[in-house]
Amino acid sequence: MGYNLDTQSNNNECEFGEAAVKVSELDAMRIYKPWLHPDIVFSMYLKLTGQEKVFETVNKFPLQVIKEKKDEFDKRTKGIINGKIGVTKNDDEKYSKLFLDILFELNNNGSGHFSDSDIRDEVITIMIAGSETNAITICFCLLMLAMNQDIQV
């Protein structure tokens, strides 16, 4: 996404990360408990347990990222990079096209008809899928190292 949360050097917990884990747990619970399948029942369950704010948190952070990246994209398309007017993308050595840049370009060209909620859903999917994939890979590597102690040095 091109957005740095700085969670490893910052001692504060990542509110989005915690909320994403909780949302994943709630979604898994909904799968295994058929009485929570209907949306009305699930939303009542969330309100009764006070967990509807978790979903608000998961939706709030991606909107912030989208807004910041949209502003950066608009500046780049107008030729304003690092506060300099009349600069092209080729002049910015650190520029690399992000997933959001592609979506914004498609919307500007008329090729894509993505609403803000469509873009938000894609960002949430990428953020959660990326973190889960990394966590699963690390757990698998640790499991393989534990099972094959002869290769540990």
Residue 31: the pLDDT is 86
Question: 67 or 152: whose pLDDT is higher?
Answer: 67
Residue 127 lies in a domain: yes
The b/e string for 2-34 (b: 16+ C-beta within 10 A; e otherwise) is eeeeeeeeeeeebebeebbbbbeebeeebeeee
Question: CA 81 → CA 73, 77, 88, 98, distances in Å?
Answer: 10, 9, 8, 16
Residue 102 lies in a domain: yes
Phi, psi of 5 (to 5 degrees): -85, -20
Residue 137 lies in a domain: yes
Confidence of residue 41 (pLDDT cuts 50, 70, 90): very high
Residue 3 lies in a domain: no
Residue 94: the pLDDT is 56
Question: 132 or 100: whose pLDDT is higher?
Answer: 100
Residue 137: the pLDDT is 86
Residue 84: the pLDDT is 53
Residue-wise pLDDT for 90-130, tens only, equals: 554 555 677 788 888 887 777 767 777 888 888 888 877 77
Residue 9 lies in a domain: no
Residue 73 lies in a domain: yes
Residue 31 DSSP SS3: helix
Q: What is the distance between the alpha carbons of residues 127 and 143, in angstroms, rounded to a whole number?
A: 25
Other Cβ atoms within 10 Å of 86 Cβ, number: 9
Residue 75: the pLDDT is 80
Residue 6 lies in a domain: no
Number of structural domains the chain divides into: 1
Q: Which domain holds residue 146?
A: 15-151
Place of tokens 């091109």: 2
Residue 8 lies in a domain: no
Residue-wise pLDDT for 49-84, tens only, equals: 888 888 888 888 888 888 888 888 888 777 755 555
Longest dimension (CA), the chain: 60
pTM of the model: 0.59
Residue-wise pLDDT for 1-40, tens only, equals: 666 665 556 555 577 778 878 888 888 888 889 899 999 9
Phi, psi of 2 (to 5 degrees): 75, 25
Instruction: Show the 3-state SS of 82-130.
Output: CCEECCCHHHCCCCCCCHHHHHHHHHHHCCCCCCHHHHHHHHHHHHHHH
